[in-house]
Amino acid sequence: MTMFTKRVIDRWARRALLAAGILCSGVALAAPAADTLPGPREGPAAIVLPARVVAYQAALITAKVAGYVQHIPVDKGDRVRAGALIAQLDVPELQADRLRYSAEADVAERNYERMLRAVKVAPDLVTPEKVEIQRGQVEVAKAKLARVDALLRYARVTAPFAGTVTDRFVDPGAFVSVPNGSAQGGGRIVMLMSLSRIRIQIPVPESDAPMVGAGCNVIVSAPDLPGVRFTTSITRVSSALSSRSQTMLAEIDMPNPEHRLLPGMYVSVRLTPGHAAQAARTAMNGAAGP
């Protein structure tokens, strides 16, 4: 390498170092002073979380007695009022039992009346113990008859509350058995849900749980309803974290008169933490230190 080449390289190296120094000086001069930096945001920051819509009331309508479906006037999508007929069951065994117990009660009643007349005519022939025994037989027969009548009333299946039939599991002529313990598959008739009022369940992560409480303002939006927003507030929180998901359940109860939000839909909720919750979080952060 010649001396001329070395001089050229040294000259360009000095120019590059000079340019780098100028740039660094410019950045340093352009940096804002510490007192001009933006301060912390006023008020609590919003939290956006996914949530799920569930029915305010939901019941799997099952049979209390075993029988054949004689009449079922409702189907999926039908709206019913409280007390409306869901299904009428034919229960021939219970009807036969009623005839038997009715006859037994009638015989026991007549025997008791005959014994009372005998006491008046010949009190020495009928002891008080026999009268009491016959009276007890009358009460037992009436109790058996009352029990069968109560079971027969369950053959008429009615809606426990006003709602919408979301599923139907049987057709006329089908045999419906009595649910056995927790297994209710054999006795299913319809699924009934109340849709005029819904619950929105929000799993709040552990990091956000201290900031969320009852009364926090919420804006609910659904991907299937573009441009539609529902303004409401948190109704309740569980105040405990799930051991499985490490989330706290928050719920919103809100009217749904047009049935726009349906059970099973996923929605997005934008929460604004309340002042009390924000103060608790600030105090917790202060106690934790930097």
Task: Tell me if 202 is assigned to some domain.
Answer: yes
Percent of residues, the chain, with pLDDT higher than 70? 77
- HSE-CB of 105 using CA atoms within 13 angstroms: 16
Do 124 and 217 belong together in one domain?
no
Rounded Cα–Cα distance for residues 7 and 233 (Å) = 76
Task: Tell me if 10 is assigned to some domain.
Answer: no
| Residues spanned by the domain of 231 | 47-56+195-288
pLDDT of residue 122: 78
Task: Tell me if 135 is assigned to some domain.
Answer: yes
Contact 221, 268 (CB under 8 A): yes
pLDDT of residue 7: 53
Task: Tell me if 64 is assigned to some domain.
Answer: yes
Q: Can you read off the two tokens belonging to residue 67? A: 């029988």
Q: Which of 171, 192, 213 is the last residue of a domain?
A: 192
pLDDT band of 15, cuts 50, 70, 90: low
pLDDT of residue 21: 46
Q: Which of 192, 212, 243 is the last residue of a domain?
A: 192
Do 152 and 270 belong together in one domain?
no
Task: Tell me if 248 is assigned to some domain.
Answer: yes
For 215-253, what is each residue's pLDDT tens digit? 999 999 998 888 899 999 999 999 999 989 999 999 999
Question: Phi-psi category of 4—alpha, beta or left, where left has phi over 0 and alpha has psi -120 to 50?
Answer: alpha
Do 148 and 230 belong together in one domain?
no
Do 214 and 133 belong together in one domain?
no
Task: Tell me if 7 is assigned to some domain.
Answer: no
Do 153 and 168 belong together in one domain?
yes
CATH at residue 232: 2.40.30.170
Do 68 and 179 belong together in one domain?
yes
Phi and psi at residue 99, in whole multiples of 5°? -60, -40
Contact 253, 183 (CB under 8 A): no
Task: Please tell me the total count of domains within the chain.
Answer: 2
String of DSSP letters for 162-195: SEEEEEE---TT-EEPPPBTTB-GGGEEEEEEEE
Do 121 and 142 belong together in one domain?
yes
Do 74 and 156 belong together in one domain?
yes
Do 163 and 67 belong together in one domain?
yes
Task: Tell me if 177 is assigned to some domain.
Answer: yes
Do 200 and 185 belong together in one domain?
no
- pLDDT over 60 at 23, yes or no: no
Q: Give the range among 12-16, 39-43, 176-180, 222-226 with minimum mean pLDDT.
A: 39-43
Contact 80, 190 (CB under 8 A): no
- pLDDT over 50 at 31, yes or no: no
Q: Which of 160, 192, 224 is the last residue of a domain?
A: 192
Q: Can you read off the two tokens belonging to residue 285? A: 């952060």
The mean of the pLDDT values for the chain is 82
CATH at residue 77: 2.40.50.100
Do 186 and 267 belong together in one domain?
no
Do 172 and 210 belong together in one domain?
no
Angle ∠(50,53,58) on CA atoms, nearest 5: 150
Task: Tell me if 21 is assigned to some domain.
Answer: no
For 136-189, what is each residue's pLDDT tens digit? 999 999 999 999 999 999 999 999 999 999 999 999 999 999 877 655 556 899
pLDDT of residue 275: 53
pLDDT band of 41, cuts 50, 70, 90: very low
